[in-house]
Chain A
Amino acid sequence: MKGFRVRGTLGSVLVGCAILASGVLAEEGAVTGEGALRPVAIVGSEVPQSLTETPGDPVRGRALVADRTKGLCLLCHAGPFPEERFQGNIGPDLAGIGGRLSAAALRLRLVDGRALNPDTIMPSYYTLQATTRVGAAWRGRPVLEAQEIEDIVAFLGTLRDTRTEGSAL
């Protein structure tokens, strides 16, 4: 049991401090609105609660997973994507992953897999993690937005090790 931690609020505080420290006035809504992280509650090895009110869209999720400049997943993983050439082999194959992991477990794996394996190469997609020299274009925002995480969780849940998984979408 890893206990209960609330992320996101801490992230927002850090972003707020960075803005103040650099002498730039925080715009109305910069800390609580677009770009700020929603609170994420890790319970054990899961994030049971959806990050958003809108249910994830598996079709959008599939497109994000296959997109090599957004989700980046296929750079490291293979999966049931017959139309995609050059899938990576750094992480495990995603085929059937929805049968092996619950939505809550998938959510933590995406939000911050380092909570499970501190040395993993897999990026933490929804943290403003302790890292240095973030490129100017990427500063102060997570790799994916909360709704995009939910879309991917919904899509991965459909991967059930059948011959037609994924392509039925």
Chain B
Amino acid sequence: MRGRSAPVLGLLLAWSATAAEIPVSERRSGFDAMSPDIQAMQQDEMANPGLLWLQDGADLWGKAPSPDRPACAGCHGEAGASMRGVAVRYPVYDAATAAPIDLEGRINACRARHQGAAPFPRESRELLGLTTYVAAQSRGLPIAPPDDPRLASARAVGKALFTQRMGQLGLSCAACHDDHAGRRLGAALIPQGHPTGYPLYRLEWQGVGSVQRRLRNCMTGMRAEPFANGAPEFVALERYLMDRASPLPLETPAVRP
């Protein structure tokens, strides 16, 4: 049961804007502030550790889940052609469930609807691999939010969550990423918080993680209870973050400290 509209509505009512959004011309990827050696690691095809996950995803793309069901490639063919430009649009509106859906959710929906297969758990090697593989086909393309009025409520909910004080420390995403980007929080330089590189390899994780893993980390830092994996609140936040990041180019698989 995920009946969350009531508290979300409450949030919307409680929200009062203080932070100013970052103007399009001033939007910067977290990449720009990284040290040259980590930048080089991201850009070097041989050194980027995310490429191991990408390779897993490429293998899964061509592999039938069972003898009588098609592989992803069976329906979509060459990912380089059919998947180019997909990730820069997500999350999108899914007519079948009448709700917004993110890229991981779409991959699992394809598994259920067309492959008769169980969903991959969030943060599993398989789902991270496939998501990385699909997203990497859009590497270098500008993030392009879909012009779809059915996403309006997700956008509003995402923005309300972004600006709402949360957790024991009473911080908000906007307090750090709109108001104090570029400042030092202890050892960490606060980035503008754009989801341009996900799934990405984080040195601290020693692995690839999804954007929702990143958001969970930030919420734990605020001493807030993170939303569940795949929760509609996270999808709404992702929608708002992608709007807020456009038209920065997609970097998947990025590398971050």
The chain A residues found within 8 Å of chain B, CB to CB, are 68, 72, 74-76, 85-90, 114, 119, 121, 123-124, 129-139, 141, 143
Indicate if the CB atoms of B183 and A132 lie closer than 8 Å: no
Residues in B whose Cβ lies below 8 Å from that of A133: 166-167, 219, 224-225
Return the CB mask of B173-194 against A: 1 if under 8 Å, else 0: 0011001100111110000000
Residues in B whose Cβ lies below 8 Å from that of A114: 170
The answer to the question of B165 belonging to the interface, with a C-beta cut-off of 8 Å to chain A, is yes
Told that A121-B175, A133-B219 touch, could you supply 14 new A-B pairs with CB distance under 8 A? A72-B169, A89-B183, A90-B183, A90-B184, A121-B179, A123-B168, A123-B170, A129-B170, A132-B11, A133-B224, A134-B225, A135-B168, A135-B224, A143-B169
Residues in B whose Cβ lies below 8 Å from that of A136: 225
Given contacts A121-B171, A121-B179, contact A132 B166 (CB under 8 A): yes
Q: Which residue of A lies closest to B169 (CB)?
A: A123
The complex places the Cα of A135 from the Cα of B167 at a distance, in Å, of 6
Q: How far apart are A55's CB and chain B's nearest CB, in angstroms?
A: 27
Q: How far apart are B136's CB and chain A's nearest CB, in angstroms?
A: 33
Residues in A whose Cβ lies below 8 Å from that of B186: 68, 74-75, 86-88
Indicate if the CB atoms of A134 and B185 lie closer than 8 Å: no
Residues in A whose Cβ lies below 8 Å from that of B229: none
The complex places the Cα of A164 from the Cα of B232 at a distance, in Å, of 54
Residues in B whose Cβ lies below 8 Å from that of A135: 167-168, 220, 223-225
The chain B residues found within 8 Å of chain A, CB to CB, are 11, 18, 164-171, 175-176, 179-180, 183-187, 219-220, 223-225
Indicate if the CB atoms of B185 and A88 lie closer than 8 Å: yes
Residues in A whose Cβ lies below 8 Å from that of B223: 134-135, 137-138
Given contacts A121-B171, A134-B224, A135-B225, contact A86 B184 (CB under 8 A): yes
Indicate if the CB atoms of B167 and A131 lie closer than 8 Å: yes
The complex places the Cα of A134 from the Cα of B220 at a distance, in Å, of 10
Residues in A whose Cβ lies below 8 Å from that of B225: 133-136
Residues in A whose Cβ lies below 8 Å from that of B170: 114, 123-124, 129, 131
The complex places the Cα of A68 from the Cα of B183 at a distance, in Å, of 17
Q: Which residue of B lies closest to A141 (CB)?
A: B168
Residues in B whose Cβ lies below 8 Å from that of A88: 183-186
Q: How far apart are A150's CB and chain B's nearest CB, in angstroms?
A: 20
The complex places the Cα of A71 from the Cα of B79 at a distance, in Å, of 50
The complex places the Cα of A147 from the Cα of B183 at a distance, in Å, of 31
The complex places the Cα of A72 from the Cα of B32 at a distance, in Å, of 27
Residues in A whose Cβ lies below 8 Å from that of B168: 123, 131, 134-135, 138-139, 141, 143
Q: Which residue of A lies closest to B183 (CB)?
A: A90
Q: How far apart are A145's CB and chain B's nearest CB, in angstroms?
A: 13
Q: How far apart are B22's CB and chain A's nearest CB, in angstroms?
A: 17
Across chains A and B, which 6 residue pairs bring their CB atoms closest together, nearest first? Answer: A86-B187, A138-B168, A75-B186, A123-B169, A131-B170, A121-B175
Cβ-neighbour of B18 out of A87, A119, A124 (below 8 A): A119
16 A-B pairs whose Cβ atoms sit less than 8 Å apart in the complex: A76-B185, A88-B183, A88-B185, A88-B186, A89-B183, A90-B180, A131-B166, A131-B167, A131-B170, A132-B166, A132-B224, A135-B168, A135-B225, A136-B225, A138-B167, A141-B168
The complex places the Cα of A141 from the Cα of B224 at a distance, in Å, of 13
The complex places the Cα of A125 from the Cα of B183 at a distance, in Å, of 22
Q: Which of the listed residues A86, A119, A131, A136 has the most CB atoms from chain B within 10 Å of its own CB?
A: A131
Q: How far apart are A134's CB and chain B's nearest CB, in angstroms?
A: 5
The complex places the Cα of A74 from the Cα of B184 at a distance, in Å, of 10
